[in-house]
Amino acid sequence: MKTSAVAEEKELDASPILQVVNVSHSFFTKKGAVLEVIRNMSLDLYYGEFLGVVGQSGSGKTTLLKIMAGLIKPTDGKVLYKGKAVNGPTPAISLVFQEPVLFPWLTVLENVMLALKRVENISKEEMKIKAQSFLDMVGLSGFENSYPGELSGGMKQRVVLARALVTNPDVLLMDEPFSNLDPLTAVSLRREIDLLRQHETLPPSSVLLVSHNVEEIVELSDRVLVLTSRPAQIAGEVKIDMGKPRDRRSPRFYEYVDAIFTLMS
Ligand SMILES: Nc1ncnc2c1ncn2[C@@H]1O[C@H](COP(=O)(O)OP(=O)(O)O)[C@@H](O)[C@H]1O
Ligand SMILES: [Mg+2]
């Protein structure tokens, strides 16, 4: 009996939470010309994994994430969340944009509380407590009454992260969240995300990070998908079998970086 329970658990772990199935996408310009951005792409994001997707600028990464979050309807193909079609934004899937988007006239706390507006049966007081606890988690205790304009870029990105996590999403999609930060701030935010992942009671189950930065992807991901240049297709997959935190100067790290660069070129 025991072995079959274990086998069942393994099987659950090995099933995808979010699937991209034969997705193609083209943008149509006003003059009617077509820009093909994604060509017949399929990928699976598994329960509990941190998946990295790396591709050059303009390869279609942001478009892919918007499709996965239900913000863009693909020209062809579909996205499945737990086997059901995603036809629009859902609280189960959170997307962190490259540029932190915050309402400047709301405080940090109010910006995070806003994400809870869609949650049913939650009082204002509960919203406050929850938002505060997520701000504490991302290292922003004491800044709840500040306005976004008073924060550094790294702090804004932390607010965005708290807002993305406060609804307990199953899936967190991140679009180059470190690319507009100075290098030191990026290091501490990456570490923060790693630590959040180790928190067992914390959402989300699965994370997908897209970036053009190969080192950043190797530092954080369990598995990496490499995209071709536009139209994006999957050029290959690399599993990163290294403990964390990962030393960027280790030879092992560089073998992974090289393997990915080879697939990209
Ligand atoms: N709404 C849009 N309308 C027309 N073209 C777009 C739109 N969004 C993105 N593109 C184009 O699609 C291509 C891929 O963009 P994007 O997904 O942002 O790539 P990446 O995130 O990998 O840099 C680019 O050439 C971009 O100019
Ligand atoms: Mg982009």
What is the SS3 assignment for 36-70?
EEEEEEEEEEECCCEEEEECCCCCCHHHHHHHHCC
pLDDT of 5 strictly over 80: no
HSE value, Cβ hemisphere, 13 Å, CA-based, for 234: 17
61 lines ligand 1 (CB under 6 A): yes
Q: Report the residue among 28, 39, 63, 228 best suited for mutation to probe ligand 1: largest number of ligand atoms under 8 A from its CB.
A: 63
For residues 235 and 226, is the Cβ–Cβ distance under 8 A? yes
Sequence length of the chain is 265
pLDDT of residue 7: 44
| 25: three-class secondary structure by DSSP | strand
For residues 252 and 239, is the Cβ–Cβ distance under 8 A? no
Tokens read off for 34: 């077509």
Q: Compute, in angstroms, the gap from residue 132 CA to the centroid of ligand 2.
A: 30
Instruction: Return the bridge partners of 197, or none.
Output: none
pLDDT of residue 180: 85
The residue nearest atom 6 of ligand 1, judged by CA position, is 27
Domain ranges of the chain: 48-73+84-264
**CATH architecture of structural domain 48-73+84-264:** 3-Layer(aba) Sandwich (3.40)
Q: What is the pLDDT of the chain when averaged over all its residues?
A: 91
pLDDT of residue 188: 87
The residue that leads in pLDDT, 8 or 83, is 83
Which residues, including other chains, have CB under 8 Å from residue 230's CB and lie 6 or more apart? 36, 37, 58, 59, 60
For residues 212 and 175, is the Cβ–Cβ distance under 8 A? no
Angle at 235 between CA 38 and CA 239, to 5 degrees: 120
Query: Which ligand is closest to the CA of 37, given by its number?
Result: 1
Tokens read off for 188: 């501490």
In angstroms, the Cα distances linking 214 to 144, 217, 233, 250 are 34, 5, 17, 15
Q: What is the pLDDT of residues 41-87, one digit of tens each?
A: 999 999 989 999 999 999 999 999 999 999 999 999 999 999 999 99
pTM of the model: 0.91
List strand residue ranges (DSSP E) for the chain, in order: 16-28, 34-46, 50-54, 76-81, 84-85, 93-96, 171-175, 206-211, 223-227, 234-239
pLDDT of residue 82: 96
pLDDT bucket at 95, cuts 50 / 70 / 90: very high
Q: What is the Cα–Cα distance from 207 to 223, expressed in whole angstroms?
A: 11
